Amino acid sequence: MTTARAIAYLRVSTDKQADGGVSLEAQRAKVEAYAALYDLDLVAIEVDAGASAKSLERPALARTLAALKAGEADALLVVKLDRLTRSVRDLGDLVDLSGRQGWGLLSVSEQLDTRTAAGRMVLNILAAVSQWEREAIGERTAAAMAHMRANDEYTGGEAPYGWRVADDGASLVLHEAEQEAIAIARELRAAGLSLRKVGAALEDRGILPRTGERWHPEKVKRLCTAKVAA
């Protein structure tokens, strides 16, 4: 029986991991042990150090796929599928590519071998579960953010006028000067001044928007309805 040839692909996502070498060394040990256990001829080990899995545009992965296409190996071996990609779509594209070109995808952690019908079925199930999990997380996150916005809670980004982001980066604290500007704007508006005149009055007092521009009526309108301290 001919020994199957495999190319191992390793990846770490940060330069720190790459410099430390711990993650790469652990991956290398696992693929070498897997190859010995399943009688694979490990013809090459390709490494993308400090590379994101957001896309398939990675130098070592490109070399790996080119070698597989050229018939220099029969399978692509990874420690875990997320070392190869975190995208269900990209994973599907790679599986389609492997089917057309005649090479298999092997994963140590998932005990996956797409050279068999059972392995291909398991991969499809894993991909479907992964897609469901990501969509479910996205739905929960969106619902949580909507709830926070509805309750005027801080959801990240620039703090609303009258507030500033606290040192912990996760909450808001009063911006005294801006709170005073809101109070003045409301008083002037309650006294019957138009939005334009309220803006002019604020400018006369040296109170300007954060951008340093003039108070346009729409900005004054938002200022008058801004959240104030309880």
HSE-CB at 62 with a 13 A cutoff on CA atoms is 5
194 classed as catalytic? no
Residues linked to residue 42 through DSSP beta bridges, in sequence order: 6
In the numeric block, which tokens belong to residue 44?
């090459």
Residues linked to residue 186 through DSSP beta bridges, in sequence order: none
Q: Choosing from 13, 23, 87, 98, which is the catalytic residue?
A: 13
Q: Classify residue 212 as exposed, middle or buried by CB count within 10 Å of its CB (0-12, 13-18, 19+).
A: exposed
Which sequence positions are flagged as catalytic?
A: 13
